[in-house]
Structure 1
């Protein structure tokens, strides 16, 4: 899950709000964004914050707002990187620790930040447990109905596939039973804005109409707009689906960044995260 999330994020980073780059959407290599300084093959905040969520889960420490906030701060401070919204990046530079984060953060966003990092929570045993844990982490930064609901939907996508709860064509209807009001089963069309529920709906749309991770990744990018987030959400969930061929190009795997918290670290953490399934499986 985490490896595919990172690849979707890193690949999509070259195309985010850069329609002129769409002809380069060939999956043959990571591309340089025409205006951002993120190097090809490097992941962004989508992955870094997902790693923080996964690290909290595998640590088995109490799932509290302070524990999660501490992980957010630690993940950034040990490995500062571009990709965060400018104001949030500056905020992270200035704060010292989890308590400082919680005291100073503006929590009223409805954008995609809480959804982009929610997939690891899908490993929890039941939809109810997933929604409870996701709501807590989302409210730290996105304490709005749309921000929380988008995050819960993204986490439930992963949960649905991890526990093989049905066909991918029924995924939208499954989410509608827990989070009504968004018509998750109806396709998204057009460019993707930074609003969380739009990113999730685009990811659902791409999953429904693709049968391979490679096709899925290209389709996520083709939406245009906030495509790195769409790709991160979609690939994290779809990597757990038995209906989707796991065929990401080897070149994208090989050239994903591999510094201290790069590919090898992500693979190791991924294994620890997915091992929780055995202990979390519903009776």
Structure 2
């Protein structure tokens, strides 16, 4: 799951907030592309979506208590051992200025309703039951996104992973299942148009792309075709899609092999993945 999430993130990073012409010309899955809006991010490099999901995955497999302090510590450790582009500038500066989980929590303003809590939550969806998934999702979301929409979007993203990896029903029904669990019909309503920075937008777009099924390649192209914050959409959707028996695992070798493979790249992601529930 983590490798697919990272591929979605890294591929989508080439299109994040780029214009529709760039998307229509280059969204072919032939290769990673450089984003004209963010040219400093090298093709094939993942961003904050994957780094923070990896931090949560490592915390889960470590067996450490799932607390706000341990989660904040995981985020700071992951960032300082491997500083990278892709974070919002303000939050990147914040991470660079804190060294411990306690310092993180003392200084953070957890009032965001953007997509940060949803983009990273996928490993939580692998937990064995819905109550566990929702509890763990809420605890990690409250560290930075303690708002109704921040919490809800993280819950939706985590539940999508749970639904697909546990084989709880047809992938076409994932939005309806999430809507039923969260008590809101919005999750069953297909997303249309460009995706903005809000977490609900990214999660809804991911559910919409995921429900089309078919193959990982088809889901990935559908995520990017929305335009906007598509690296987050693709990270959420591919993390879930990777566990569905209905969805063919057909990502091109150019994307698999082209994903970064440094100390915390493809090989490390695969090793951590093997330890997840």
Once the two structures are superposed, the pairs formed by residues 136-215 of structure 1 within 5 Å of their partners are 136-215=139-218
Q: 1:219-264: per-residue Cα shift (whole Å, max 9, x none)? A: 1000000000000000000000001001000110001001100010
Q: How far apart are 1:180 and its partner, in Å?
A: 2.2
Once the two structures are superposed, the pairs formed by residues 111-150 of structure 1 within 5 Å of their partners are 111-150=114-153
Residue 22 (structure 2) pairs with residue 21 (structure 1): yes
Residue 33 (structure 2) pairs with residue 31 (structure 1): yes
**Alignment RMSD:** 0.8
Once the two structures are superposed, the pairs formed by residues 266-277 of structure 1 within 5 Å of their partners are 266-273=269-276, 276=277
Q: How far apart are 1:208 and its partner, in Å?
A: 1.2
The aligned counterpart of 1:101 is: 104
* Corresponding residue to 1:241 among 238, 241, 244: 244
Q: How far apart are 1:182 and its partner, in Å?
A: 4.8
Between the aligned partners of 2:5 and 2:215, the Cα distance in structure 1 is 15
Between the aligned partners of 1:194 and 1:35, the Cα distance in structure 2 is 16
The aligned counterpart of 1:4 is: 4
Between the aligned partners of 2:229 and 2:142, the Cα distance in structure 1 is 22
Q: Say if 2:127 and 2:162, in contact at 8 Å, map to a contact too.
A: yes
* Corresponding residue to 1:42 among 45, 51, 74: 45
Between the aligned partners of 2:95 and 2:257, the Cα distance in structure 1 is 30
Query: Which runs of 5 or more residues in structure 1 are unaligned?
Result: 277-283
Q: Say if 2:118 and 2:154, in contact at 8 Å, map to a contact too.
A: yes
Q: 1:95-120: per-residue Cα shift (whole Å, max 9, x none)? A: 12111000001100000000000110
Between the aligned partners of 2:165 and 2:219, the Cα distance in structure 1 is 18
Between the aligned partners of 1:163 and 1:209, the Cα distance in structure 2 is 18
| Count of matched residue pairs | 274
